[in-house]
Structure 1
Amino acid sequence: MASEFVFTTFAALYGSSASRAAFILLDCAVVAAILYLTRQLLLRSRSIPLPPGPKKLPLLGNVLDMPTSQEWLTFAEWGRRWGDMVSVSIFGQNIVILNSANVAVELLEKKSSIHSDRPVMEMGGELVGWKNTLVLVPYGDRFRSFRKMFHQVIGTHSSMDKFHYLEEEETHNFLRALLRSPEEFSRHVRHTAGAIILRISHGYRVKADSDPFITIADEATEQFSLSTAPGGFLVNLIPPLKHVPDWFPGAGFKSTAKTWAKTLDQMAEGPYQYVKDQMTSGTAEPSFTSELLSEPDLTKSREFDIKWSSASLYSGGADTTVASITALFLVLSLFPEVQAKAQAEIDQVVGQTRLPTCADRENLPYVNAFALELLRWHAVTPTGVPHRVMEDDIHNGYLIPKGSLVIPNVWYLLHDPRVYNEPMEFRPERFLGPDAEPDPRNVCFGFGRRICPGRVLADASVFISAAMVLSVFNVTKHTEDGRVVEPPVGQTSGTISHPLQFKCSIIPRSSQAVELINGQD
């Protein structure tokens, strides 16, 4: 598989001619050799070893070992073989993979002052332009400015309270859409996630069906996932390839990057200009962007940061929440006993004469645990986004050299049998009682200064979606010609991971539920 990956990757980059690919590979190997040997000489001058891992080849390092999909599964296997910190190298670039939540906290949180940078991702960051968004912005003053803006508007539970009515209103619209065409639940999930995040980020109310801002966000976030995935584009591993002329055979990635850059620019500029126009006319709804644009004496630099911080919120929430809510329907179809137990709690606490609200959460411990288990069971960002070490670090007797990439294997941290009993099962009970297992929100939203700034919003969205759907619908496995169709259990590859495509049956629980769905907010 590994040798096939190298051949097909170079063939895709440089054309179908094996000889041409071989010459390019040779040129790249020479550059890589210099980098590799220099690094090895430096490392040999130190007595402290790197973390263990697969055997490295001269020049190539572990490029032949790297998986091209489902990376988290390979990383987990390496962890079982070599321990909680695994070291690999790709053309001289050192990568440390973490397979323990405790080690991730010790490195990425307790040592966050040197573990909070991001790597330069040539395809997604530099060529496409995602370096302007929070997820890839380098650690420094601009990063701190972004974090401050997020914390100011949506960073705490109290600051998010003012948006709860909005989430409830849009989720109620979601229920109506499900009632009309339940077979299109995936489309409704995506539309609702976009509706919520666009109202919070830009005060924009989406169109009932196809909305241009949601469409462009879907395209951009899919392109982000592809352009930043560990096994994605070779230019991310060999940065000098970005200097290959556009006309050079196989330089198609540069054309792709230009197209994707236009998509990203449209995603950021369109909603931002909408807010400015609304503010000029005095009709702007309260939002993340309008609140920040109300600051006095705005500079061009500040406006640029506001535009891209709001685009960060918009893009960050548009796809990640979609993955979680889609997984909600998979879980409900797979675990009917869990669904029944959650519905019984809602019926007892909320009743059947109104829909649940965010304010009910503290009185719905099992439904709250259900939402937490949903975040754990389906890891939306299974390998996170790599951190970059800003100076040499020594941890547990191993050297993590300056410039190393540190990848927390989030999927495994959420499925570690040392932490979660029967991790592949969906069991909300694991978060209840005196022996409750660790809160997955401490892992799934990232670590340290790179923790997701929209986590309070995401957490609230998952809860209210689960509670409202459970209150009025029964979700079961899809049937065709009288036969039950088992849904596939698995995840797509990419930085943002969705459940594999599946079908399910979504039916109102009663005529009273239908009245609730069709009622006014």
Structure 2
Amino acid sequence: MALNASSLVLGLSIAYLAATLLRNQLNKARQPLPPGPKGLPLIGNLNDLPKPGALEAQHWLEHKKLYGPISSVTVFGQSIIIINDAQIAFELFETRSAKYSSRPKQLFASELVGWENTIGMSPYNKRFRAMRKNLARVIGSSSAVAQFGDLQAAEVGHFLLHVLRDPENLLDHIRKAVGAIVLKIAYGYTAEPHRDDVLITMVGDAMDKFARAAVPGAFIVDLFPFLNGLPDWMPGTSWKKTARQWGSELMSVTDVPYTFVKHQMAQGSYHPSFLSRLIEAGEDSDPEINDINKWSAMSLYSAGADTTVSAIATFYLAMKMYPEVQKRAQEEIDRVIGNGRLPTIADRDYLPYVNAVVKETLRWHPVAPMGLPHQSTEDDICEGYFIPKGSMLFANVWHFTHDPERHPEPEAFKPERFLAVDGQVPEPDPHRFVFGFGRRVCPGSLLADNTLFLTVAQSLAVFSMNGPSGTEKPPQHKPEFLAGIVSHPLPFRNAIKPRSSHHEILIKSLEDVYPWQQSDGEVLENMSR
């Protein structure tokens, strides 16, 4: 049976590749594809893809040196276009957004696991626009996100308390703070304040698996979609079991908080939230609308939580490496705010250097170095090259923020590059690149940016963040980051302590200003019984 199955797979593979090669030959009758390395028969440029663990942005930057600002590879007939020029990215993804706003169908992550139901992986269609409209109501403008200022202040205050008491587990505290903010906004859910929260853990696990599933070509079914029709007992189809398991977990992390909101509303004990407002507005009766609303709420979390965690961790890494930046920012806070209170969102315009630290954090290591891929929905021509319908396009955001022509000394953390002082023209604001392009700009960008600013400003106000030894000038090492759709710093140690006894008292006073609330985790546990 195994021999017959293998023969069937081989035969189908040859037929599939033959059809793909024929289509590519027809395309060659037009303008050429963007330049790139010569591929091998059948597999194309499979061996030219980044190796596991390699930083994708740096890998694809080599293409600019060899082939110019726009290049391509072809893997099993799939055209992949690499854009290493910011102006070309803007031209395609913004000026020509009607042709480049969809997402490629990565069969494993999108359809089999179910991430196509979220706004990030959805094709550009009616459902996508409905989810985008839902999110725009809540977090689509500065005035809309302003309503969450008190909530953000409370959770950042709790974050400072956690770091004061347990500085060694910085990343856990970042995840908890960001998760608590988004879950409260999306579902009115209060996270567990002093131990692991069941919902934050569930969503975190789902996002970690998304980062693995969404890497193009990570699963063989993305390269050979017809394999999805093979029975589960055939050799080499273990990915089917993985997809079912991950899909079930994704459904749980979407359904559980939705059911929580419905339960709390029925009990009359709910906290107003994004989802409860949709339900109250009577937009929950139609099954299709109900499904869109449910996934819109899940998208609110997935659209910004993991990227915000990465940005805050990157800030703490930068402060460890650049104490002179930390000192200058603290001097500005002391001069403008004093030491009797913490900075707020309302102080942002009066703290230009601290605001520049936020921009430099996003520039120094953009949270999504290659972003999510776009897909062309029509044949097109760019720079004299043919881009076939169905191409997968990546913009090298990391290069856009590290191009020495745009940002001199790109490897250095220099917030002053964004200040208009002494006749200096500020460098381009990285916000233009790091949250996506055109109709695919991250819908949670404004909320994430406010959370980042508040965490940066308040951390600088009260903490000294130095190297493991606590020295003023820690040794300089090249920062290291993990590969992936969302890139996080490698684990690092940072000696975090209050700047003074007065600052320690200020942090501790937050417990009275923002009392710990009873978690809703027990409600979830009771609901599952």
2:34 to 40, 51, 66: 51
Deviation at 1:22, TM superposition (A): 9.1
1:214 to 189, 196, 200: 200
Alignment partner, residue 232 of structure 1:
218
Task: Name the Cα RMSD after superposition.
Answer: 2.1
**Partner secondary structure for residue 99 of structure 2:** coil
Aligned pairs (5 A) from 1:352-431? 352-431=339-418
Alignment partner, residue 11 of structure 1:
none
1:508 to 492, 495, 498: 498
Aligned pairs (5 A) from 1:475-514? 475-479=465-469, 489-514=479-504
Q: Which stretch of structure 1 is more off in the superposition, 494-503 or 211-220?
A: 494-503
**Partner secondary structure for residue 386 of structure 2:** strand
Take 1:179 and 1:340, find their aligned partners in 2: how far apart are those partners? 19
Query: Residue type matched to 2:180 in 1?
Result: A
CA contact (8 A) 2:188 2:273 kept: yes
Take 1:233 and 1:480, find their aligned partners in 2: how far apart are those partners? 45
- Distance change >3 Å, CA 405–CA 207, structure 1 → 2: same
**Partner secondary structure for residue 407 of structure 1:** strand
Alignment partner, residue 190 of structure 1:
175
CA contact (8 A) 2:463 2:497 kept: yes
2:130 to 134, 138, 145: 145
Q: Residues 172-207 of structure 1, C-alpha deviation per residue, up to 9 Å, x if partnerless?
A: 000000011001111111111111111111111101
CA contact (8 A) 2:368 2:397 kept: yes
Deviation at 1:284, TM superposition (A): 2.1
Take 1:35 and 1:460, find their aligned partners in 2: how far apart are those partners? 50
Take 1:116 and 1:89, find their aligned partners in 2: how far apart are those partners? 21
2:67 to 76, 82, 101: 82
Q: Residues 127-148 of structure 1, C-alpha deviation per residue, up to 9 Å, x if partnerless?
A: 1110100011111111111111
1:447 to 437, 440, 449: 437
Deviation at 1:402, TM superposition (A): 0.8
Query: Residue type matched to 1:54 in 2?
Result: P
Alignment partner, residue 332 of structure 2:
345
Query: Residue type matched to 1:437 in 2?
Result: E
Alignment partner, residue 7 of structure 1:
none
Query: Residue type matched to 2:495 in 1?
Result: S
Q: Which stretch of structure 1 is more off in the superposition, 329-338 or 318-327?
A: 318-327
Take 1:450 and 1:172, find their aligned partners in 2: how far apart are those partners? 32
**Partner secondary structure for residue 113 of structure 1:** helix
Aligned pairs (5 A) from 1:237-256? 237-256=223-242
Alignment partner, residue 316 of structure 1:
303
Take 2:136 and 2:293, find their aligned partners in 1: how far apart are those partners? 13
TM-score by length of 2: 0.91
**Partner secondary structure for residue 500 of structure 1:** coil
Take 2:40 and 2:451, find their aligned partners in 1: how far apart are those partners? 46
Take 2:16 and 2:68, find their aligned partners in 1: how far apart are those partners? 28
Q: 5+ residue gaps in structure 2?
A: 514-529
Alignment partner, residue 46 of structure 2:
63
2:20 to 36, 42, 55: 36
Deviation at 1:480, TM superposition (A): 10
Take 1:249 and 1:27, find their aligned partners in 2: how far apart are those partners? 15
Q: 5+ residue gaps in structure 1?
A: 1-14
Take 1:249 and 1:480, find their aligned partners in 2: how far apart are those partners? 55
Query: Residue type matched to 1:95 in 2?
Result: I
TM-score by length of 1: 0.92
Q: Which stretch of structure 1 is more off in the superposition, 281-290 or 173-182?
A: 281-290
- Distance change >3 Å, CA 248–CA 25, structure 1 → 2: closer
Q: Does 1:132 align with 2:117?
A: yes
1:155 to 140, 146, 151: 140
Take 2:101 and 2:65, find their aligned partners in 1: how far apart are those partners? 26
Take 2:8 and 2:311, find their aligned partners in 1: how far apart are those partners? 42
CA contact (8 A) 1:35 1:92 kept: no
Query: Residue type matched to 1:129 in 2?
Result: G
Q: Does 1:469 align with 2:455?
A: no
Take 1:31 and 1:111, find their aligned partners in 2: how far apart are those partners? 35
CA contact (8 A) 2:283 2:289 kept: no
Q: Residues 84-105 of structure 1, C-alpha deviation per residue, up to 9 Å, x if partnerless?
A: 1111101111111111111100
**Partner secondary structure for residue 512 of structure 1:** helix
Alignment partner, residue 336 of structure 1:
323
1:270 to 241, 248, 256: 256
Take 1:338 and 1:27, find their aligned partners in 2: how far apart are those partners? 62
Take 2:463 and 2:190, find their aligned partners in 1: how far apart are those partners? 26
Deviation at 1:422, TM superposition (A): 1.1
Deviation at 1:25, TM superposition (A): 8.1
Deviation at 1:249, TM superposition (A): 2.4
CA contact (8 A) 2:140 2:444 kept: yes
Alignment partner, residue 10 of structure 1:
none
Alignment partner, residue 279 of structure 2:
293
Alignment partner, residue 118 of structure 1:
103
Alignment partner, residue 4 of structure 1:
none
Q: Does 1:259 align with 2:245?
A: yes
Q: Residues 335-388 of structure 1, C-alpha deviation per residue, up to 9 Å, x if partnerless?
A: 111111111111111110001111111110010010011111122111111111
Query: Residue type matched to 2:56 in 1?
Result: E
Take 2:470 and 2:458, find their aligned partners in 1: how far apart are those partners? 27
Query: Residue type matched to 1:436 in 2?
Result: P
CA contact (8 A) 1:32 1:59 kept: no
